Chains A and B, each alone.
Chain A
């Protein structure tokens, strides 16, 4: 039996935003069931990577390839990626007044169900399902009936992202600095949600500046991103080493690949 097709295979990825090259030949392979952490200093290209993978139009891919379960991910519109199981938890979730959170989530879930050839859920069935998922992230049902993220606290917005993840059950979840700005209780709740969804079919990429989240969600692999490339990779212990020595250590001791 040969190696199965990786869930995500990034080869020599180059990308620019606002005319500035940010990703400069990035390589990464993620197999089904794995949890990867990508760490790196500010400006290293962490969020740009998340944006490329989710298809944000303002980021221009200038070279390389990304394959998602064997298909060319870069050819797909953001919504096609989403219904095919790719999920980005936003660093800064957008507030959208006038769009009810519940309506939005039902529309998102039914778009994915349609893609899979399943019948759409009606309002009642959706609510039953959503209630069960809300327990995972200790989500207040009142927030489900408010406008999407409008007036939510920072922690509520991040929990709303994880709730959407729990409802959409993605194959590949990318968490973009989901831990930043969270107090310790909110961090624990978010981590608990991520851990509960961990399964052999699902993969997760956690993008983070700090090691803190990795105490709660232990990754299989840790990669360090600097100046648009992955400069070193290792197991969970690499995160602790970084925490002790700081990112400066990279520039002095780790040789470029």
Chain B
């Protein structure tokens, strides 16, 4: 660790330490009594862990100095004056009947649509639940501090105040919900804690979409002059027996965003979890998806696309933990990197000793569309059982010159041909989204980014 980094890291820690001390009373008034010691323990844990450095294996390729240096001096105001029209402008037409809108980490009821829900479904803000019915989330939030291994997750818990609380009860109907997170301030921290529970036999499609709308921030004259802001989101997902969830995450924040998010899933017997993750925006992002297959028959599919250009840095971390026999998992992450961007894929599939008859497949393929782009990929299998079927692999390649020439020889110009080839490479990831409207949204977002990345490569 360099002296400068060390200095900014301790600055980061003391900054949050001071802020925590200052806000403890405010937290206490808005939270149940049992949460106060949880916060304090989490804050202490954050102090112990410190910000990760490149010496920590999971952070080997991602510069934490930028996180440490960021001036998180302002707590963002939550209300930004956005209208429903603004929400449509930022996110497109609604893809679900139910949507929850969060501005700078806080729920905005006036922009949300939570009325059309059946009785079996609760869709609310965590802040409201903490105020009105905190028992519902006590178990989810009473995390033992020593089990927190990730410093940003510890920080998240210490400052927990809002996020989405979704509880989908048993019903034969599929439930579709959108969580829309918008940052309108180019400073500060949006600390989000989402809790998602899918009851036994229930079935849901949930989209989490992160975007920025800095034009609404009067203090930013020019988006290029904006300072960094941090989104720190932790989502926990519980899937009951035979429950099913498609979780679509689209991160398309502005270049000045530092986006750190984790999704932690626990799957019960015969549950099916499919993650569709799209990491497109933010100057620096790190998206973690971790699933524990805790009971027999559980099935997990992690699909991901990271598509970046310019000087973006995108880091993907996944852990699939086969803790029970007769479970299956498939993982497919694809990366497209242009400009001077950097990508990281670090995927672990762990098969525990008694997880016999596990079937696990893991793959990561990457396409470098610029000579200056770079990717580090590390798919890992850790197998302690002896009767399992596991495979993994990764590739890094460039656009196929022969394919490019073939398309051009038929009259497609270089840009169209390049876009067509990259589009073909990435299409597999989006095709797996079951919900047509959501898929259309994602495909539009991906296509727009693809056009930007391609046009900066071809003069």
Contacts and interface: CB of A to CB of B under 8 A. Distances in A.
Interface string A75-108: 0011101110000101001101111000010011
Interface stretch (B171-179, B184-192, B423-431, B436-444): B423-431
A78 B405 contact: yes
B27 to A, nearest CB: 50
Contacts of B423: 98
A4 B417 CA distance: 36
A108 B410 contact: yes
Contacts of A57: 401, 405
B321 to A, nearest CB: 32
B400 A94 contact: yes
A112 B411 CA distance: 7
A54 B425 CA distance: 26
Given A56-B405, A57-B401, A98 B410 contact: no
A62 interface: no
Contacts of A58: 401
B428 to A, nearest CB: 7
Contacts of B401: 57-58
A130 B225 CA distance: 53
B406 interface: yes
B24 to A, nearest CB: 54
A55 B406 CA distance: 11
Given A97-B424, A98-B428, A82 B410 contact: yes
A164 interface: yes
A56 B401 CA distance: 10
Interface in A205-252: none
Nearest to B431: A98
Interface string B77-94: 000000000000000000
A137 interface: no
Interface residues of A, number: 28
A104 B410 contact: yes
A99 B424 contact: yes
B405 A107 contact: no
Interface string A24-38: 000000000000000
Given A56-B405, A82-B409, A96 B424 contact: yes
B412 interface: yes
Contacts of A83: 411
A96 B406 contact: yes
A105 to B, nearest CB: 8
Contacts of A55: 408-409
Nearest to A147: B424
Most buried by B among A55, A104, A115, A168: A104
Contacts of A56: 405, 409
A71 B416 CA distance: 25
A107 B420 contact: yes
B303 to A, nearest CB: 15
B407 interface: yes
A147 B425 CA distance: 12
B421 interface: yes
Nearest to B416: A107
A111 interface: yes
Given A97-B424, A98-B428, A99-B424, A108 B411 contact: yes
A93 B402 CA distance: 9
A153 to B, nearest CB: 18
Interface string B380-424: 000000000000000000001111011111111110110011011
A111 B412 contact: yes
Nearest to A92: B402
A56 B412 CA distance: 14
A82 B408 contact: yes
A168 B410 contact: yes
Most buried by B among A88, A98, A115: A98
A212 B405 CA distance: 29
A79 B408 contact: yes
A107 B412 contact: yes
A93 to B, nearest CB: 7
Contacts of A88: 409
A111 B403 contact: no
Contacts of B400: 94, 96
Contacts of B413: 77, 79, 111
Contacts of B425: 98
Given A77-B414, A82-B411, A99 B402 contact: no
Nearest to B423: A98
A54 B410 CA distance: 10
A99 B411 contact: no
Contact of A54 (B402, B409, B412): B409
B260 to A, nearest CB: 32
Most buried by B among A56, A81, A94, A168: A94
Nearest to A84: B411
Nearest to B426: A98
A115 B412 CA distance: 11
Contacts of A112: 411
Contacts of B409: 54-56, 78-79, 81-82, 88, 90
Nearest to A97: B424
Given A57-B401, A98-B428, A99-B421, A104 B411 contact: no
Contacts of A164: 410
A178 to B, nearest CB: 15
Nearest to B420: A99
A125 to B, nearest CB: 18
A108 B413 CA distance: 10
Contacts of B411: 79, 82-83, 107-108, 111-112, 115, 168
A79 B424 contact: no
A88 B410 CA distance: 8
Contacts of B410: 79, 82, 104, 107-108, 111, 164, 168
B408 A94 contact: no
Q: Give the 6 A-B residue pairs with the shortest CB-CB distance, closest first.
A: A98-B424, A111-B411, A82-B411, A108-B410, A78-B408, A94-B406
6 contacts: A78-B405, A94-B406, A96-B424, A104-B407, A108-B411, A168-B410
Interface of B: 400-403, 405-414, 416-417, 420-421, 423-425, 427-428
Interface of A: 54-58, 77-79, 81-83, 88, 90, 93-94, 96-99, 104, 107-108, 111-112, 115, 147, 164, 168
Given A79-B414, A99-B421, 7 more contacts: A78-B405, A79-B408, A81-B409, A82-B410, A96-B400, A97-B424, A112-B411
